[in-house]
A and B are shown apart, each in its own frame.
Chain A
Amino acid sequence: MIKDYAGLAVKNLKRRGLRSYLTLLGILIGITAVIALITLGNGLRTAVISQFGISSTEVISVQAGGVNAFGPPGSGVTNPLRLEDVEAIEKLNGVERAVRRNIPTGKLEFKDEVIFGVIMSIPDGEDRKFVYEELNINPVEGRLLKDRDIGKVVLGNNFLTEKAGLSNPVKVGNKVRISDKTFEVVGITEKKGSFIFDNVVHMNENDLEALAGYGDKVDLIAVKIKDKGEIEKVKEDIEKLLRERRNVEEGEEDFEVSTPEAELETVDQVLGGVQAFIVLIAFVAIVVGAIGIVNTMTTSVLERKKEIGVMKAIGAKNSDIFFQFFIESGLLGLVGGIAGIFFGIIIGFFGTIGINSFLGSSASPKIDLILIFLSLIGSFLIGSIAGITPALRAAKQHPVKALRS
């Protein structure tokens, strides 16, 4: 029987005008948003993570100022970290190594063009190895900096193209002027998919100190721990140590100690907020869509009043009429859902491709079959629930009155 009603409903849907299908826009937008969000979801996350160069190794980073983890480190800090802080942290139990990092901004000139960018200090010896490993930095052309390199720099991958802001690509062996001193480019790094690391200038600490004159001030301390399992404890120890050294109370820290987990959590929180917002929009769209379906179905009950009378005259029970309209309404919702799934996947797919080409990441879209299945069921349910009142109204038509209409 259900199959027969569905057959009748499909015939009725086929003769419907564009107007009926326009009312499906709400459901379509809602389902599109949800499907696109999920299809895009992983791509967005990977893109954001690679953007900010959040490393997966167990490294704690310490910054002064308590500014957000993604801001330019050390910028606008009143009470900067000092070299003694680095030394004190290194003495803590559980800490294998604490490395000072300075990341000032500077002016770079090449072939009569000027850009402003971030310069990153590279320490000597074992610390150098640690920084390269931790940040996973490798040369794509030339080499990385070595101890005792003087007047030499390595540039991020974007300098190979116009993306760094220069119309001429920079090659190994070229000379660039940084803050009015000349440096030789000895290498270009591999593409990282991050606007920080792909645009950065690497410089040995001595050169950079001479250039920027930051003395014993430190922008960031990278802390390597001995045992991955102790990361939270070491983090708390560092916080305690710095509170004492800087004489601040718990809860009023003017510095930030962050672990990769914490940074990922922040990313997920932001993405979660975005997702919640989109889901809210989707929900509103679907509610609006459901009201649209109620409207359309009510109209067609009125338009087909005579037909209802005829069907009753040839033996249709109230339940027969009810199920016809109920299923028709469900299928109407389903049509919106199918269209939404279609557009959602398209958006998710091309969105991921767009993100990848824009950020140089390599995320892949996620086709979630369970979600698609649920969306199909959901859109049918929304449609049929919206159809309950109109279908009851259809079923309750008095046969004679309906026939006379």
Chain B
Amino acid sequence: MAKGKREVIRLEGVKKYYFMGENIVKAVDGVDMVINHGDFVAIMGPSGSGKSTTMNLVGSLDLPTDGEIYLDGHNIARLSESSLAQIRGKKIGFIFQSFNLIPNLTAKENIMLPMLFQGLRIDERELKAEKLLELVELTDRKNHYPNQLSGGQQQRVAIARALANDPDVILADEPTGNLDTKTGEKVMNFLEEFNRKGKTIIMVTHDPELAKEHAKIVYWMKDGKIEKTTKTKKAR
């Protein structure tokens, strides 16, 4: 497979408008974007510039007001809710700023949950969850509940959960936003490691340093539009 050549995501003239009575909030206002397999992309921009909205559209959590979104060559811009759920469950792994683990499930059970929604058998789920716990170095915490874990540990569980169904693409919305620099660094290292292993990663951040240091390509967003695209030193 020619690394960095296969196209995974393509956005064409994507718009997302929110209609609030008289006002129209143009959260995303005509975005074009092509992301290839194995990319590590950062979406940079000030708060409210439309980064999360863009990410949610890519992650098939939402439908655009206008434009086309291709995931692995399939147009997902006008799919039904249940087809979208299938697609995002299989192809996308989400990581959130506030970790968003299910509070009454243990670390391991949280990791097993996405596989349940894909209909995997319990023994398959257990086996995979154990492997992922090992990858994020949390085997000794597998039976802990989220409130018994530190922020960094919770985010590593979230990463493992995002990887559960072997998705092509990992979407991380400010993954280090709630972590201190050192813990954040560790989380970033895991993301980089998985990127090296072939995962396509799209990360939203408002921290330019973080973007330059870890990503290969940076999209700079403002007012719902892409201002510019830059390549970092990581991109060969």
Say whether A and B bind each other: yes
Contact between B105 and A11 (Cβ–Cβ < 8 Å)? yes
Does A256 have its Cβ within 8 Å of any Cβ on chain B? no
Q: Please, which residue of chain B has its CB at the minimum distance from the CB of A16?
A: B104
Contact between B94 and A314 (Cβ–Cβ < 8 Å)? yes
Within 8 Å by CB of B114, from A1, A315, A318, A319, lies A315
Chain A interface secondary structure, helix, strand, loop or mixed?
A: helix
Contact between A314 and B62 (Cβ–Cβ < 8 Å)? no
Does B86 have its Cβ within 8 Å of any Cβ on chain A? yes
Residues of A within 8 A of B103 (CB): 15, 307
Given contacts A11-B104, A318-B85, A320-B117, contact A313 B62 (CB under 8 A): no
Residues of A within 8 A of B104 (CB): 11-12, 14-15
Measured in the bound complex, the distance between the Cα atoms of B100 and A310 in whole Å is 7
Interface string of A346-377 (1 = CB under 8 A from B): 00000000000000000000000000000000
Contact between B90 and A315 (Cβ–Cβ < 8 Å)? yes
Interface size of B in residues (CB-CB distance below 8 Å): 30
Does B195 have its Cβ within 8 Å of any Cβ on chain A? no
Measured in the bound complex, the distance between the Cα atoms of B51 and A147 in whole Å is 111
Measured in the bound complex, the distance between the Cα atoms of B59 and A403 in whole Å is 13
Does B118 have its Cβ within 8 Å of any Cβ on chain A? yes
Contact between A314 and B113 (Cβ–Cβ < 8 Å)? yes
Contact between B88 and A315 (Cβ–Cβ < 8 Å)? yes
Measured in the bound complex, the distance between the Cα atoms of B21 and A96 in whole Å is 96
Measured in the bound complex, the distance between the Cα atoms of B52 and A400 in whole Å is 10
Does A112 have its Cβ within 8 Å of any Cβ on chain B? no
Residues of B within 8 A of A1 (CB): 116, 119
Q: Please, which residue of chain A has its CB at the minimum distance from the CB of B113?
A: A314
Q: List 16 A-B contacts (CB under 8 A).
A: A15-B103, A310-B96, A310-B100, A311-B102, A312-B85, A313-B61, A314-B162, A314-B164, A315-B85, A315-B89, A315-B90, A316-B89, A317-B82, A317-B85, A399-B61, A399-B62
Q: Please, which residue of chain B has its CB at the minimum distance from the CB of A5?
A: B116
- 3 shortest interchain CB distances as A-B pairs: A315-B89, A315-B117, A314-B114
B80 → chain A closest CB, angstroms: 10
Interface string of B133-160 (1 = CB under 8 A from A): 0000000000000000000000000000
Measured in the bound complex, the distance between the Cα atoms of B89 and A14 in whole Å is 27
Residues of B within 8 A of A310 (CB): 96, 100, 102
Q: Please, which residue of chain B has its CB at the minimum distance from the CB of A4?
A: B116
Measured in the bound complex, the distance between the Cα atoms of B103 and A317 in whole Å is 20
Within 8 Å by CB of A314, from B56, B82, B89, lies B89
Does B25 have its Cβ within 8 Å of any Cβ on chain A? no
Q: Please, which residue of chain B has its CB at the minimum distance from the CB of A15?
A: B104
Residues of A within 8 A of B88 (CB): 313-315
Measured in the bound complex, the distance between the Cα atoms of B89 and A307 in whole Å is 16
Residues of A within 8 A of B100 (CB): 306, 310, 313, 403
Interface string of B150-184 (1 = CB under 8 A from A): 00000000000110110000000000000000000
Interface string of A1-45 (1 = CB under 8 A from B): 100100010011011000000000000000000000000000000
Residues of B within 8 A of A315 (CB): 85-86, 88-90, 114, 117-118, 165
Q: Please, which residue of chain B has its CB at the minimum distance from the CB of A307?
A: B102
Contact between B105 and A314 (Cβ–Cβ < 8 Å)? no
Does B81 have its Cβ within 8 Å of any Cβ on chain A? yes
Contact between A318 and B102 (Cβ–Cβ < 8 Å)? no
Measured in the bound complex, the distance between the Cα atoms of B86 and A312 in whole Å is 10
